[in-house]
């Protein structure tokens, strides 16, 4: 049944032509990446609490997604059935296993979380449309089955609930905050060992390995690095910084530009230098850990200290 549905979408895609296929593939990636990046920007310049809420949802969702992928190891649709002709544009980024859909789960988690918080009906409608678009687009380009996207939506919803319970538990309770941080760190270590030591299927087609275990380890450790970095970053900021997003429009734009330049430097370092000194999966772990710690803790600490040092005090005017 799932393959038949994909074939139905495939017929529509082929009838519409390669330009539509390329546009949908591009938008699918763009919406997913935007869903990940925008919460961090919100955290810096608009609403710290809302941004922390969204990135926390992403942390749990990403960890759940990779754990499920590594556990069930279900191949992509075109591997399961040769009748499926996947969009070449989308296929390039469709690494690893198929179940559940990372794109769909990410958008469900972040847009679903934003839907709950949003007060305007227009904003709620936009978030719902983005979730629907993402689910249907993954079927349209042929990189996921209906089961992949349905379960992804369910796991995304679970991520929202887990995050809500977690944030309520740590609010105004520093001891519980620390205990839960230790607990999640232990869970992350266990997930790391699972990803590294698990025996992955070694299936070949025409002499080519269908899914390289290194790819799964790389994707898993990247998610675990983000998970640890996000939870520790929010914890450290709350404990040692407590920065404010207040400022003029010019100050916020400058804060954003400088912060993004820092992200670019860290990203270049992680992609160019790290793989030369350690295994690629370890490099991906360090990359996402450094980036999230920088965004959530280090950069807020830097611009808070800079603001305090350069702030004109009333006594200095006398």
Question: Is pLDDT above 90 for 212?
Answer: no
Q: Which residues pair with 113 in a beta bridge?
A: none
What's the pLDDT at 317? 40
* Mean of pLDDT over the chain: 90
Cis peptide before 100 (omega within 30 of 0): yes
What's the pLDDT at 44? 94
Distances (CA, A) of 272 to 7, 258, 265: 40, 21, 11
Total residues belonging to the chain:
318
- Place 310 in a pLDDT band, splitting at 50, 70 and 90: confident
- Place 307 in a pLDDT band, splitting at 50, 70 and 90: confident
CA-to-CA distance for 264 and 159, rounded, in angstroms?
29
Question: Percent of the chain at pLDDT above 70?
Answer: 97
**pLDDT tens across 61-104, in order?**
999 999 999 999 999 999 888 899 888 888 887 778 999 999 99
What does 122-173 look like in DSSP terms, one character per residue? HHHHHHHHHHHHHHHHHHHTTSS-HHHHHHHHHHHHHHHHHHHHHHHHHTT-
- Backbone angle region of 96, left / alpha / beta, with phi > 0 → left and psi within -120 to 50 → alpha: left
**pLDDT tens across 97-127, in order?**
999 999 999 999 999 999 999 989 999 999 9
Who's near 84: CB < 8 A, 6+ residues apart?
3, 6, 7, 10, 77, 78, 142
**pLDDT tens across 11-63, in order?**
999 999 999 999 999 999 999 999 999 999 999 999 999 999 999 999 999 99
Between residues 247 and 289, the one the model is more confident about: 289
């Amino acid at each position: 049944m799932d393959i038949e549905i994909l074939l139905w979408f495939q017929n529509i895609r082929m009838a519409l032509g390669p330009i539509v296929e390329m546009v949908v593939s591009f938008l699918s990636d763009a919406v997913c990446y935007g869903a990940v990046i925008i919460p961090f920007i919100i955290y810096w310049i608009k609403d710290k609490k809302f941004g922390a809420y969204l990135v926390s949802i992403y942390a749990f969702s990403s960890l759940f997604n990779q754990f499920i992928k590594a556990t069930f190891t279900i191949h992509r649709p075109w591997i399961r059935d040769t009748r499926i002709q996947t969009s070449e544009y989308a296929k390039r980024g469709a690494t690893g296993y198929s179940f559940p859909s990372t794109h769909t789960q990410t958008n469900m988690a972040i847009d679903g979380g934003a839907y709950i918080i949003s007060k305007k009906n227009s904003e709620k409608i936009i978030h719902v449309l983005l979730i629907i678009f993402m689910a249907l687009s993954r079927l349209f380009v042929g990189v996921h089955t209906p089961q992949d996207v349905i379960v992804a939506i369910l796991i995304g919803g679970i991520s929202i609930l887990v995050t809500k319970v977690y944030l309520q538990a740590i609010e105004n309770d520093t001891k519980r905050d620390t205990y839960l941080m230790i607990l999640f760190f232990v869970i992350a270590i266990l997930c790391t060992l699972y990803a590294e030591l698990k025996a992955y299927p070694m299936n070949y087609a025409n002499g080519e390995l269908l899914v390289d275990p290194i790819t799964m380890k790389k994707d898993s450790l990247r998610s675990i690095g983000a998970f640890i970095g996000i939870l520790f970053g929010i914890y450290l900021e709350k404990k040692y910084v407590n920065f404010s997003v207040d400022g003029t429009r010019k100050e916020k734009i400058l804060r954003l530009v400088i912060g993004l330049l820092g992200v670019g430097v860290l990203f270049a370092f992680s992609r160019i230098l790290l793989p030369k000194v350690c295994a690629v999966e370890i490099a991906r772990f360090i990359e996402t850990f450094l980036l999230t710690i920088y965004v959530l803790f280090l950069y807020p600490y830097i611009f808070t200290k800079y603001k305090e040092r350069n702030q004109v005090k009333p006594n200095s005017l006398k």
